[in-house]
Amino acid sequence: MSSIEYLIKPIDPLGHYFEVDLIIWQPQALQKVQMPAWIPGSYMIRDFSRQIVSIHAYEINAKQHLISPLIIDSLDSNTWQIHTTHKPILVRTKVYAFDQSVRNAYLDQFRGFYNHSTLCLQAVGFTDQPCLVHIEKCSWIHHWSLITSMEAKSIDKNGFGTYFVNSYDELIDHPVSLGQFQSILWKSYGINHLMVIQGASDSIDADQLTKDLKAITQSHIAFFEPKTHLAPFKQYIFHVNVSANGYGGLEHRNSTALLCKRSDLPYKNLVLDKKSYEDFLGLCSHEYFHAWNVKSIKPKAFQPYQLQQRNHTSLLWLFEGFTSYYDDLQLLRSNTITLDSYLERLSKTINQVLSTTGRLKQSVSKSSFDAWTKYYVMDENTPNAVVSYYSKGSLIALALDLYIRQFTQNQQSLDDVMRALWQKHGSLDASKPAEGISESGFKDVVLGAIGEAFKSTWNQFEKRFIHGTEDLPLKELFTSHGYALKEIPLSSSESVLQNLGIRSTSHEGFVKVTHVLDQGTAHQAGLCAGDLILSIQRERVSPNNLNSLLDRYKNHAIQMTVFRQDLLHECLIEKNDKGFSKLQITAT
Ligand SMILES: [Zn+2]
């Protein structure tokens, strides 16, 4: 018998509530229970306890009948203490679930989705113990199915029933989808893969999706284990929720939860939005690569995850950045996108990184460490102060790849480093994890794979681009590999907007400034985030005519009026005809 059991009931779809029972068969005298403050993969304190609307504790008998209520004290925002007599206890919570993201929990009359970290209390002192997880089918969802990657113990044909996990850490790595699905199934090197899709507007083109996803997943498996074709999981599930305008993913050990928009998917007899579909395949590729890089190969700092507090590592550039590099590269290698598409996507990343000055102020190692308070908590100054460890991290992977190819005369590449990383810090058996990588441990992996002779190149590289804020010398690197990184002039209106240096959004018919970038003429003229732009040269500005008005006055100083906190202000935007360009990679 497991010492810990959970009973999860989707009791109220219209009010969006789950009822969750935690049973501890042999509790301590003062038994603590806790909700995690964050979910691994999303580095922000979220305090999931805020969704608990009621919590009660009871002594129970062997048949799980409630015998008597117990005293339960709050110790902090996420922790409770229950006074027991060492007899079995049941802690019953009612949890609100109305978050559409992949990080949380959602329930309505059409679908349900949750991560156990948002519903299930930890039984302190027992988190390394195996658990039984019973997921109950309530009468109103008789037509629903349940999809999860947990090990099934005793389930009905729709997937409801009892599951088993080895620990709380494993429990929170298996999201659950509830409802009705379109699904596709395929095998990659003998391993079962399943994609379940909710919310699509039409019949998906299963043939196209299966063909592409099979190619991508096989490419990843063969990348890490070219000889054995083994993977660190026995099955893999893509949970896909399709919404009006969503995008995002969260990685797990043998599954991923994805959010996309309707035009991202291929449909039978409908015209495919190629770019959107490539974005979707890139997302699938990214999260799947994480099954190796961050779910199996982990920073030592995450062993174990510190779920009650911020859990810092300066290595997210390696786990997110390198995964971002390989997500698209593997699309190319699996022939699911063309070389032209790949170069276009890579060019876009380069231009994104170069478009803000945050890259000159924060290194990717600092950005990783401070993700909790900076990258994940974006504000109006983020582009000026923060560098993305995703996009600059992916350029670091690209540049390191090109340096290694140059150094070894194309005998080796970053692939060899990633496989060495996998061999040293990864494990095919999730129950027997390898030792995590230390904060300075990547150097040993690189030199182990490429040789000690690469040491001075690596030391310089790490100092300048990982701990420093220098731009990567991509032009030179591309040139030496038969490609050119060319400057393409921006269109007139794009260039004017770059000169102005603002980002804006449409707000009740106004153009609302959301960001003022360093070094732009708007910054020098004193424009602020939150300003509503009313006029340019006395002519009314709307979201529809901003670009054309800027274009008309591109060679002039501009008189602009704005509302700030409902007061009218005038600003003089100085003339600045500096031409802007963007970079494009081309084969030479
Ligand atoms: Zn990621």
Q: Report the separation in Å between the CA atom of 316 and the middle of ligand 1, taken as the mean of its atom positions.
A: 9
Query: Of all residues in the chain, what percent carry a pLDDT higher than 90?
Result: 92
- Residue range(s) occupied by CATH 2.60.40.3650 in the chain: 4-178
Q: Report the separation in Å between the CA atom of 280 and the middle of ligand 1, taken as the mean of its atom positions.
A: 14
Q: Report the separation in Å between the CA atom of 390 and the middle of ligand 1, taken as the mean of its atom positions.
A: 8
Q: Whose CA is closest to 293, among 141, 413, 422?
A: 422
Query: For residue 66, what is the enclosing H or E element?
Result: strand 66-70
Q: Which of 453-457, 488-492, 507-511, 516-520 has the lowest mean pLDDT?
A: 488-492
Q: Whose CA is closest to 180, among 159, 162, 166?
A: 159
Q: Report the separation in Å between the CA atom of 409 and the middle of ligand 1, taken as the mean of its atom positions.
A: 31
Q: Report the separation in Å between the CA atom of 350 and the middle of ligand 1, taken as the mean of its atom positions.
A: 18
CA distance 135 to 143: 15
Q: Report the separation in Å between the CA atom of 500 and the middle of ligand 1, taken as the mean of its atom positions.
A: 33
Structure tokens at 65: 């009948």
CB atoms within 10 A of CB 328: 22
pLDDT in tens, 142-187: 889 999 999 999 999 999 999 999 999 999 999 999 999 999 999 9
Q: Report the separation in Å between the CA atom of 495 and the middle of ligand 1, taken as the mean of its atom positions.
A: 32
Q: Report the separation in Å between the CA atom of 16 and the middle of ligand 1, taken as the mean of its atom positions.
A: 29
Put simply, whether the predicted model's pTM sits higher than 0.85 gets the answer yes
pLDDT in tens, 101-111: 999 999 999 99
- Residue range(s) occupied by CATH 3.30.2010 in the chain: 182-272
**Cβ proximity of 414 and 396 under 8 Å:** no
Q: Per the CATH hierarchy, to which homologous superfamily does domain 492-573 belong? A: PDZ domain (2.30.42.10)
Please name the fold of domain 182-272: Zincin-like (3.30.2010)
- Taking the C-alpha atoms of 114, 117, 123 and 124 in order, what is their torsion angle to the nearest 10 degrees? 180
Q: Report the separation in Å between the CA atom of 66 and the middle of ligand 1, taken as the mean of its atom positions.
A: 43
The three-class DSSP label of residue 570 is strand
| Across 550-559, average pLDDT | 87
Q: What is the pLDDT of residue 1?
A: 64
Q: What is the pLDDT of residue 306?
A: 97
Q: Report the separation in Å between the CA atom of 376 and the middle of ligand 1, taken as the mean of its atom positions.
A: 13
Q: Report the separation in Å between the CA atom of 26 and the middle of ligand 1, taken as the mean of its atom positions.
A: 39
Q: What is the pLDDT of residue 142?
A: 83
CA distance 19 to 9: 5
Q: Report the separation in Å between the CA atom of 294 and the middle of ligand 1, taken as the mean of its atom positions.
A: 9
Q: Report the separation in Å between the CA atom of 44 and the middle of ligand 1, taken as the mean of its atom positions.
A: 14
Band (587; pLDDT cuts 50, 70, 90): confident
Tell me: pLDDT of 578 over 80.
no
Tell me: pLDDT of 577 over 80.
no
Tell me: pLDDT of 427 over 90.
yes
Assigned CATH for 316-480: 1.10.390.10
Band (526; pLDDT cuts 50, 70, 90): very high
Query: For residue 13, what is the enclosing H or E element?
Result: none
Q: Report the separation in Å between the CA atom of 349 and the middle of ligand 1, taken as the mean of its atom positions.
A: 15
- Residue range(s) occupied by CATH 1.10.390.10 in the chain: 316-480
The three-class DSSP label of residue 40 is coil
**Domain 4-178 CATH assignment equals 2.60.40.3650:** yes
Sign of CA dihedral 477, 481, 482, 483: negative
DSSP symbols for 181-234: -EEEEEEETTEEEEEEEES-SS-B-HHHHHHHHHHHHHHHHHHH-TTT---S-S
Tell me: pLDDT of 90 over 90.
yes
Q: Report the separation in Å between the CA atom of 41 and the middle of ligand 1, taken as the mean of its atom positions.
A: 7
Query: For residue 342, what is the enclosing H or E element?
Result: helix 339-354
Q: What is the pLDDT of residue 322?
A: 98
pLDDT in tens, 27-67: 999 999 999 999 999 999 999 999 999 999 999 999 999 99
Q: Report the separation in Å between the CA atom of 126 and the middle of ligand 1, taken as the mean of its atom positions.
A: 30
Q: Report the separation in Å between the CA atom of 212 and the middle of ligand 1, taken as the mean of its atom positions.
A: 20
Q: What is the pLDDT of residue 468?
A: 98
